[in-house]
Amino acid sequence: MGIKQRTWRDVDGERIAGTWRPAFIRNAGSYHLTDLIIYADGMVDCWGLESLDGFAAKLRSGWVATELTEGARASAHHLASWKFAEPQTWLTPEMLLGEVRDTIDDLNQRPNSSDRCRAAIDVFLADQTDENRQALRTAYEAVPEHLRVYMLGDMDQNDVPVQILIGGIGAPYTTRAGSPAVVTEKTYAWVLEYFAQEAKATAEYRARVPADGPDHPDSEPTSVIVPEVVYPKGWPQELDVWVLRNEYPSPIEIGGLAYPTVLQAYWALAVTDGAVREAVLAAEPARLVRSIVREAAVRDGWPQVRVAVMALLLRAKFAQNPDLAAVLAATGETRILFQDSESLFWGERGSRGRNWMGRLLEEVRAELALKNFGGDW
């Protein structure tokens, strides 16, 4: 199925992932269209948090309704109310319970019933014994009935190839058009070829590499952290990722004016008060700038241009300091995570933050690679 929408609830400081699907709650003879919220720990909110067993009981009792009574009144909270006329439903309690179980598997990134059935298909195709065929039948019947047509991801054939594989030659099956049929030798040979071609296509898809490079960088690790560091005795002599910090001493020239660091250049351009600007430029070490500007007024419209200004300053830093550019280039294609306790806009803290500084460093790194790539651009 896959999870298309996400929610969560907090339990003792832990975030429990969840998702939802529409459902009807039947209360006092009326139906209420609402969200059935399903969580990774097996809890289900159906106008009250229930365990999976409790949810199953609510299904059996009709509280979570899979049958609708003609003429009954229904409503969607603060949206509309109506009466059912010739209602049609497709799910049984067992089918909906199976779908919820699959959703819990999906939330935990483990195989759901369709995945387990596909695995059983592979086992049977590798060794077509009666025992493996029965195991395949059991796995197929465990897939909620309304989801079986999706399990192969083939809307041209639906689950017909699985039915043929399970039955074998001489067994009945239902065509995609809904007609009864019997598996012939030709039909069975076709379905074996069908799965052979599917396996080949899957292997080719997984091994594919786009013409302009792989989906993910070859270099490890997949992320580089630019830590927020303080060196009371001065910055280390060797060059490492700390040189990507904006407070690292890397003189740059912008518009004919010299600045000792990117951090000081940024705030000197941002603030409106001349005395604050002088204090920013004189700050030693540069990290003291943060406390100087904490209450300072910035130029009108600064939030709308700050990303562009920072990009300009970073380009200058690495263009005018080739040794630092080499450190940035050495991060390869990895994601750059810029730690910043002051700003969740520029940096990140744990799982929070927009990490604009990391993004801009990646952009400048790409521009450096283009420059070294050669060619007439």
- 219-246 pLDDT, tens digit per residue, is 555 789 999 998 989 999 999 999 999 9
Residue 275 to residue 245: CA distance in whole angstroms: 25
Rounded to whole angstroms, the Cα distance separating 281 from 268 reads 7
DSSP 272-337: --HHHHHHHHH-SSGGGHHHHSTT--B-TTHHHHHHHHHHHHHHHHHHH-HHHHHHHHTTTT-EEE
| pLDDT tens for each residue of 339-349 | 999 999 999 98
Structure tokens at 21: 């699907």
- Nearest to 296, CA basis, from 260, 278, 270: 270
CA distance linking residue 94 with residue 92, whole number of Å: 5
Long-range contacts of 42-48 (CB under 8 A, 24+ apart): 42/104, 43/16, 44/100
- Report phi then psi at 6, rounded to 5: -125, 145
Q: Specify the pLDDT at position 220.
A: 57
User: Which tokens sit at 3?
Assistant: 């999870």
Burial of 165 (0-12, 13-18, 19+ CB in 10 A): buried
pTM of the entire predicted model:
0.67
**Which residues of the chain register pLDDT less than 50?**
1
Answer whether the bond into residue 285 is a cis peptide, omega within 30°. yes
Query: 24-35: buried (b, 16+ CB within 10 Å) or exposed (e) per residue?
Result: bbbeeeebbbbe
Contacts of 156 (CB under 8 A, 6+ apart): 176
